[in-house]
Amino acid sequence: MVRFILSKLLFLIPTFLGITIIAFGLVRILPGDPVLLMAGERGVTPERHAELTAQLGYDKSLPMQYLDFLGRLLQGDFGNSLVTKKPVLDEFLALFPATLELGLCAIIIATLIGVPVGVLAAIKRGSWFDQISMTTALVGFSMPIFWWGLLLIIFFSGMLGWTPVSGRISLMYYFPNATGFMLIDSLLSGQEGAFGSAVSHLILPSIVLATIPLAVIARQTRSAMLEVMGEDYVRTARAKGMPQRRVIGVHALRNAMIPVVTTIGLQIGVLMAGAILTETIFSWPGIGKWMIDSISRRDYPVVQSGLLLIAALVMMVNLLVDLTYGLINPRIRVK
């Protein structure tokens, strides 16, 4: 098992290097530069432009800039935002818990609903339940998130008044960010009603963010179940006279879970993409909104280091997924 983990970790190094190049390159491929965007309609003289560019270190050649970036990364320095002038890592750590909290809620909703729906649809293949749930999943998968979020806000918050419109907690409550996770902080604060307020603020954004992963998980579970249920060992189990619940729950589901776990792992990337829009609509102070603001301002250090940190996280999650296979299926770790 240790060798298995080590070999996986070793593989991360070249991947990580590749990501630094992509993160560094992507933001520089975009036209427009930060100095011009700061100046706006006002314009900036060529001398002042050169001066500011040099001050930021962007007058050097691209390979030199990249080596600078890499060198500083190795010392744990992710650079400072051009806009707020604060260390990128500090900003990331301040905003990340909000995204993580939202992402976790979304993936839990998606899994808790998606897996049972997929299993049921597979068992009752061709039934009305199968058809309705899979059609709904297709619609969910193609849902334009911005429109969907706004629709839910207008309906549930605007017309029915059931949920708050946006934000993480009612402005009435105010306590220090002990952990950055609003659910935990609101409990720690001991203020009456704070936890409930935090939960109510999480509902709509979690649903919006969960929509696409939920659809994917439900469809993936259904097809994995169908495949497994045609296997010999399932037929054998049935032939032995094993109860249906045990056949499905133990023999089929456990084997069908491997591709499903992979899918759930891969949804982390989808979640990050969805977080950009979801956080913007719901004024959710997380890293999705932070990245999109930084891209539009060409805040190079934030974009490149932010991308890198997000990629590192996705890699960690994928590693965890790989390790989970080992738990589900011992043959994988032996190999």
User: Measured from the CB atom, is 282 or 325 closer to another protein?
Assistant: 282
259 binding another protein? (CB under 8 A): no
201 binding another protein? (CB under 8 A): no
Dist CA 49 CA 35 (whole Å): 7
42 binding another protein? (CB under 8 A): yes
Residue type, 166: S
Specify the residue for token string 């976790």: 104
Dist CA 84 CA 126 (whole Å): 56
Binds another protein by CB under 8 A, chosen from 1, 11, 17, 32: 32
Tally the residues of the chain: 335
45 binding another protein? (CB under 8 A): yes
80, β-bridge pairs:
87
40 binding another protein? (CB under 8 A): yes
User: Measured from the CB atom, is 206 or 280 closer to another protein?
Assistant: 280
Dist CA 156 CA 173 (whole Å): 22
Dist CA 12 CA 132 (whole Å): 42
Q: Looking at 132-140, 163-171, 315-323, 327-335, which segment touches another protein (CB under 8 A)?
A: 163-171
**How many chain residues bind another protein (CB under 8 A)?**
58
Binds another protein by CB under 8 A, chosen from 3, 10, 29, 47: 47
Q: Looking at 12-20, 281-289, 304-312, 327-335, which segment touches another protein (CB under 8 A)?
A: 281-289
Dist CA 68 CA 79 (whole Å): 10
Which DSSP string do the residues of 121-187 spell out, in sequence order? Answer: HHHTTTSHHHHHHHHHHHHHHT--HHHHHHHHIIIIIIIS--S-SSSSS-TT-----SSS-HHHHHH
258 binding another protein? (CB under 8 A): no
**Per-residue interface string for the shown chain with another protein, residues 81-120, x marking contact by CB under 8 A:** -xxxxx----x--xx-------------------------
Phi, psi for residue 221 in degrees, rounded to 5:
-60, -45
User: Measured from the CB atom, is 32 or 230 closer to another protein?
Assistant: 32
Contact residues toward another protein (CB under 8 A) are 30-34, 36-49, 52, 55-56, 80, 82-86, 91, 94-95, 150, 153-154, 157-158, 161, 164-168, 171-172, 174-177, 280-283, 285-286, 289-290, 293, 298
